[in-house]
A and B are shown apart, each in its own frame.
Chain A
Amino acid sequence: DGGITQSPKYLFRKEGQNVTLSCEQNLNHDAMYWYRQDPGQGLRLIYYSQIVNDFQKGDIAEGYSVSREKKESFPLTVTSAQKNPTAFYLCASSVGHPPRDQHFGDGTRLSIL
């Protein structure tokens, strides 16, 4: 079955540590997205990529970095510069950008130790 796989499901970060969240899709979608969801709030766009080797900042890119070396993969690194990283992170993909309809992964819940 085609879909989006995010790993890990839960992740804990120590102060000053970088962590990388994985997102893989086998839907052959060109566009991929990273969102952050905080309790009681909507999804905020961190980064998106319309095509391999290209990515654009979203509304809250500070403290995050991404890469898009392969069509199937769009990992997100939460750097130590992100002072409030505790949140639910969702990866999504779409045939193109702007997204016609996005397919979401199950998310990664990141917490600070």
Chain B
Amino acid sequence: GQQVMQIPQYQHVQEGEDFTTYCNSSTTLSNIQWYKQRPGGHPVFLIQLVKSGEVKKQKRLTFQFGEAKKNSSLHITATQTTDVGTYFCAGKSNYGQNFVFGPGTRLSVLP
């Protein structure tokens, strides 16, 4: 079945440093979504990418969808303590109905 992986599993950065998490699917995705879960909270939708090679920005966050629609990345410029949390990618394969989440990347930001 479809598998979605994310690296790294954990990332500790100093406030002001950049951060990137990578998402890789075993199958081609119809779209990719990113969610953020703060400690003790629930996932919150950030963005959806649909087109091959698409790049979207939200303030300090930059999201990319790979040309082959099998990978994606989230880059945060100049991290802040408010960026702390776990970032999940999720998507639906072109070949199935289920919507699959990656295991997440947990980001810690040291002040």
Using CB atoms and an 8 Å cutoff, list the residues of chain A in contact with chain B: 33, 35, 40-45, 48, 56, 58-59, 90, 92, 97-107
29 A-B pairs in the complex with CB atoms less than 8 angstroms apart? A33-B99, A40-B9, A41-B104, A42-B88, A42-B101, A42-B102, A42-B103, A42-B104, A43-B43, A43-B101, A45-B98, A45-B99, A48-B99, A58-B98, A59-B1, A59-B98, A59-B100, A97-B97, A97-B99, A98-B30, A98-B31, A98-B92, A98-B99, A99-B99, A100-B48, A102-B35, A103-B45, A104-B44, A106-B42
CB distance from A90 to the nearest CB of B (A): 6
Contact of B43 among A41, A44, A90, A100 (CB under 8 A): A90
Using CB atoms and an 8 Å cutoff, list the residues of chain B in contact with chain A: 1, 4, 6, 9, 30-31, 33, 35, 41-45, 48, 88, 90, 92, 97-104
Interface secondary structure of A, over-half rule: loop
| A107 B100 Cβ-Cβ under 8 A | no
Nearest opposing residue in chain B for A35, CB measure? B101
| B98 A43 Cβ-Cβ under 8 A | no
CB distance from B61 to the nearest CB of A (A): 15
Contacts of B45 in A (CB 8 A): 101-103
CA distance A58 to B1 in the complex (A): 12
Contacts of A40 in B (CB 8 A): 9, 103
